[in-house]
Structure 1
């Protein structure tokens, strides 16, 4: 039961700080789940992020559900998911009332501009974390570490195919998933 409450509280904090959306919050989730709590390895976390991206729904919510399921089964999944969304729902209701009242304020629009810039930085940080995990298997590779050349080649080929032939991303994910079965 203690683990359930710990999952709830951890993901409540993550949900409270998830400004910028799912991709922006990946480094915080990784810090809490992999580095601090040690609930999953970086490899398992990368797999959870991959699955969370492929399933319908918000990335942070899907990730919390999968981590909770991994740690404490269905009760853990429910606790982590509720913890992740509870603060966001409450904050959304408060912000809705606030913006309805001050919707014409110049200051509110200036604050939102600053938040957009911060969100972009968080998303770029998340992209860097995902790339490091994919290419080096860790969020902070050791100096002189060699990348996973197969992962780098698949990434480069996928990026090229997306840009050159405008392939359907779902089809590309299916093809690279099958390719991953043979490579790994």
Structure 2
């Protein structure tokens, strides 16, 4: 689990309402919420740095369950421990539960859902723009070397061309990075490294 942040605390109410707003205004769930979470916790609240957010994304995307719930748990826990994780998670799921119950009720009443289909058709391109924006913001703290760029290219190729599982790509990238850095540190000369 992540360490608790005692330097920049958040109230339970703040955690609940922040994630409730994210849950309410995000259509599509999952990765679509990434830019909103990033904007809220990195840029607005400054609860995480870009590097910490990237670490959180990798960890929560690798863990079982929905990314958004895992992110709420992670961030809530870092701010206020287990109770903070609970507050953030409840905030994240409450709007969705209410909206799903309302939609189910309308469908049971036989209401026309054509307007909802039109709404979602209009939102999809905006969602793509939000994801692209989040990816561009994430790259700032992540791509520091040629090796990082090679891992990025590998990950994109695996995801886009081979339709690989996200967890597999993350674990493969992590294993590759560990191997690379171990080989790199073994190749360094021991001692001062000066010429004789």
The question of a shared fold, defined as TM-score above 0.5 by the shorter chain, is answered with yes
- State yes or no: 1:115 paired with 2:120: yes
The equivalent of 2:190 in structure 1 is none
Over aligned residue pairs, what C-alpha RMSD do you find? 2.7
Given that 2:58 and 2:170 are in contact with CA atoms closer than 8 Å, whether structure 1 keeps it comes out as: no
Shift of 1:181: 2.9
- State yes or no: 1:89 paired with 2:86: no
Q: For 1:9 and 1:170, how far apart are their aligned partners in 2?
A: 30
| Alpha-carbon displacement from aligned partner over 1:160-180 (angstroms, at most 9, x marks no partner) | 355666666544432211122
Change over 3 Å in CA distance of 1:32–1:173 after alignment to 2: closer
Unaligned 5+ residue runs, structure 1?
Answer: 139-145
Aligned pair partner of 2:135 in 123, 130, 134: 130
Aligned pair partner of 2:80 in 72, 79, 82: 72
TM-score calculated relative to the size of structure 1: 0.79
- State yes or no: 1:31 paired with 2:39: yes
Aligned residues: 173
- State yes or no: 1:57 paired with 2:62: no
Aligned pair partner of 2:176 in 168, 173, 179: 179
Classify the secondary structure of the residue corresponding to 1:24: helix
The equivalent of 1:15 in structure 2 is 23
Q: For 2:161 and 2:94, how far apart are their aligned partners in 1?
A: 42
Given that 1:3 and 1:72 are in contact with CA atoms closer than 8 Å, whether structure 2 keeps it comes out as: yes
| Alpha-carbon displacement from aligned partner over 1:53-97 (angstroms, at most 9, x marks no partner) | 112222211111111111111111011001110111111111110
TM-score calculated relative to the size of structure 2: 0.75
Classify the secondary structure of the residue corresponding to 1:137: helix
Aligned pair partner of 2:146 in 144, 149, 152: 149
| Structure having the higher Rg | 2
